[in-house]
Structure formats: C-alpha cells, structure tokens
Chains A and B, each alone.
With several copies, the nearest count.
Chain A
Amino acid sequence: MVKFITAKEATHFFKNGQTVMIGGFLNCGNPQDVITEILKTNLKDFTLIANDTATPEDSRGKLVVAHKIKKAIVSHIGTNQETVRQYNAKEIEVDLQPQGTLAERIRAAGAGLGGILTPVGLNTLVAENKQIITVDNKQYLLETPLKADVAIIYATYADKFGNLAFHGSTKNFNVLMPMAADVVIVEAENISEQPLSPDNIVVPGIFVDYMIKKENNGTD
C-alpha cells in the first residue's frame, strides 16, 4: 500500500549505481522535487532511463549537469547541450533508442514479456548486435525488456490509494514506468482523500510505493 513521504525522505530509496527511470517528455510531465533533493546528496553513477535528458535547467537534465548520470538510455539528447558535451567528451555513456522501442521495452519489463519484435531500426545502426527474427516472411528486431531499480513519476491527480490520472500530454512515459521498476515514487500535483473515479484511473495504485505532494504545481 502506498506510503506518503517527503521528497527528502525519497532520497533514502536510492543507491549509487542504480538504474533509475524518470518520467516526462522534454519540459512536460516532469517530476522535480525528488531530483532537487537528490542534487543535495552524494548519490551518483546512475543509469538513467527516460525519453530524453530535458534541458540543463529542468528535471533529469539537472542530474546530467551535476554529473550524477553515468549512462543515459534515451531517445534524444539534442535539447540538453550539457549531455551532448559530456557525450562528445566521453564523460557520459549514451545508449540511443528509437522512442517507440524504448516505450515497448519498458512495457515488456512491466508486463513480464521476454521482449518484442519490431520492424523499427532494421537496416540501421540500431540493429547492431541484435537478433533478427523472421515472422511471416518479414524481418523484425528482437528488443529486450528494460527495467529499473527505482522510478520517479509525475502525476496530475492521485488519491490516497495511490491511483493516478493525468492532464494533457503529461502521460508520456509516466504511465509505463510504474510497472517496470522495483520501487515507484510518485510526485502528484493533486492528492485527494476521495478515490478517483475507477473508470478514469490510468495507473492503478498497486504499482505505486511512495507518494509525494508536489511542491511546485506547474509541470516544472
């Protein structure tokens, strides 16, 4: 059952070298408060799984600037010039993934699948060192599951049972990651005592371990 904690308390659930998923897409639907607290600690050497590394001033982007990310498994780094700089200087390892493949790999982990077959990336650098499997005379890449030790998730609405719902384009990876991480920490803008409508819940509370009332009510 979900426990309500502070962002500072959330830092206790991280260890150096862990794999951390962080929801959000560029400047939208980003958790911020736990990251702010992590920046005050000596935690480091994380492998980040996220859509992108945002900007140097925003969310997971700040973890890159603070050299807390050893490796980034993301679809895009172009919006964060510090990630690009560290990548060119070989200070960070970057494993670029097609965005849809990244989403499917996270889902596969959460759904207990051994992988999925996708046509995306065939005949490109993405196919290197990957198994090609033929189904019905068509070739596909075998993409394997991606899971994390901890996930930091944004939600617009939550209830005391840990159920989540979202406004606008904040669903992005926030919907997928809670099933694919051992420990799930949610920063919610609005937390209600009353249960959310069971018809409209997007992430069931059973996937959420810890809930934080988000300090800043913008998305960043």
Chain B
Amino acid sequence: MELTKEQAQEIIARRVAREFKDGDVVTLGIGLPTKAISYVSDDVHIIVQSENGVLGVGAYQDDSNRDPHIINAGGFGVTINDGGCFVDSLTAFAMMRGGHIDLTVLGALQVDAEGNLANWCIPGKFTPGMGGAMDLVVGTKRLIIAMEHTAKGAPKILQKCTLPLTVAHKVNTIITEKAVFEIINNKLILREISPYSSLDEIRQTTDAEFIVDLTA
C-alpha cells in the first residue's frame, strides 16, 4: 500500500508512542521522534529531556505563555511541566552519558544490522554536525530509531552503514511505517509487520539480512 509521507510519519509516531512506559525519562530527536508525544496514552506520564537543558518539556508555547528564555533543542518555544527543571549543558549531557535516560528516540540516515547508526554527516554533501546525537546514543538505556523505511525509494536499513557513524552497536529497535526490528547480539530480527506492509515488501526495501521472529 502506498502511503503519503504524512501517513507514514503518523504510523511511525503512533507506534513509537507505545514504547513509552509510565515514569520514563526520554530524549527525542527533532522532527518525527518528537511527534510521538502526541500519541502517548493518557495514563502514561513521561519526562521529556531536551539536550539544551530542559527536564520536563511541556507543550509548545502559545500566545498565553510566550517566554523567549525557554526553548527545546530545536529552538522552538516550549513550556515546562510541573516538577521539571532547567540545567546547564554539562548537566544535560551528564544525564545522557551517565545512563540516566531510559529511552532515546532518534531519526537516522542509515542504520545497520549490527546496530550501527549514521545520522550526522554525508561527506562532501551535508554536514550539519552531530550536535548532541553522539552523546544521546551512548548512555541511553534503550535506543530506538524512528524513521521512514526508505529515502526516495532507497533502503536506509543496511547490512553495514556506509556513512560516518554516530555510534557503533547501540541501536536496540528500529521502527518504520513498514516494520519493527530488534537488534540483539548484532543480529537484526523482524518483530512486527505493519498492517500497511508485507514481509515481501519489507524484504525488497531492506538491504540487510534479518531473522523473522514475530513471536516476542
């Protein structure tokens, strides 16, 4: 089934939202990963950390609560939830590196069957920089990559990343509009097939060997 980009992103965001557990401290990449918050069920309360020093990121600001001193890591004005706090960049990254974040959800340019991730640099073409991504992925208890399955038709899940890595052997889960994979001991395992896809389509659009085990 052919999905629009918008539909694909909503499917991914909804699926990611089911990974959050009540009380989780989570860090979310800009864009698609952040959209997942909208779909978290009402009985699950998560604490969102933003690398620029906000713990307990709330809704976006509106005309009733503008404050230019409070932004998220994307530079957008946000509010802070009750019980949240502001920290400096050193502390924000100590939280990440020190293993105090339960779950991190990021996008990717490429991710591979060994759990390697590339998301900061296309040599000679596009090098925005790693920002906080390398720190985010190292210390998190669990790393989920949330991304569209392909980019302009080309697979993004590979046997081996070809772009410069963000981190090696750290990705636990990959969530796309077509599938959910887990990576355990350097093995890629297909766990779910989206209702909008099929095993055949996943095989055609995934450039890596994977085990099919839908029982877990």
Q: Is B54 an interface residue (CB 8 A)?
A: yes
Q: Pick the contact of B75 from A27, A120, A196 — CB < 8 Å?
A: A27
Q: Is B86 an interface residue (CB 8 A)?
A: yes
| Chain B 98-132 interface mask (CB, 8 Å, partner A; 1/0) | 11100000000000000000000100000111111
Residues of chain A from 140 to 182 with CB closer than 8 A to chain B in the complex: 156, 159-161, 163, 166-176, 179
Q: Is A111 an interface residue (CB 8 A)?
A: yes
| Complex CA distance for A186 and B53, rounded to whole angstroms | 20
Residues of chain B within 8 A of A206, CB atoms compared: 25, 47, 55, 95, 100
A98-B135 in contact (CB<8A): yes
| Complex CA distance for A198 and B67, rounded to whole angstroms | 14
Given contacts A99-B89, A103-B89, A166-B86, contact A112 B94 (CB under 8 A): yes
Residues of chain A within 8 A of B95, CB atoms compared: 179, 204, 206
Q: Is B158 an interface residue (CB 8 A)?
A: no
Residues of chain A within 8 A of B86, CB atoms compared: 166-169, 171, 198-199, 201
B128-A167 in contact (CB<8A): no
| Complex CA distance for A99 and B93, rounded to whole angstroms | 8
Q: Is A183 an interface residue (CB 8 A)?
A: no
Q: Pick the contact of A219 from B68, B87, B139 — CB < 8 Å?
A: B68
Residues of chain A from 1 to 47 with CB closer than 8 A to chain B in the complex: 1, 25-29
Nearest residue (CB) in B for A107 is B90
Instruction: Kindly state the interface size class of chain A when it binds its partner.
Output: 35 or more
A198-B84 in contact (CB<8A): yes
Q: Pick the contact of B138 from A119, A175, A218 — CB < 8 Å?
A: A119
| Complex CA distance for A45 and B96, rounded to whole angstroms | 32
Given contacts A76-B131, A111-B98, A125-B164, contact A28 B71 (CB under 8 A): yes
Residues of chain A within 8 A of B47, CB atoms compared: 206
| Chain A 76-94 interface mask (CB, 8 Å, partner B; 1/0) | 1111000010010000001
Interface residues of B (CB under 8 A from A): 23, 25, 47, 50-56, 67-71, 73-75, 80, 82-90, 92-100, 121, 127-135, 138-139, 164-168
3 smallest A-B Cβ distances: which pairs?
A78-B128, A100-B93, A161-B83
21 contacts between A and B (CB under 8 A): A26-B71, A28-B69, A28-B70, A75-B131, A76-B130, A76-B131, A98-B133, A99-B51, A103-B88, A107-B94, A122-B168, A123-B165, A124-B168, A161-B82, A169-B52, A169-B54, A179-B98, A198-B84, A198-B86, A205-B85, A206-B100
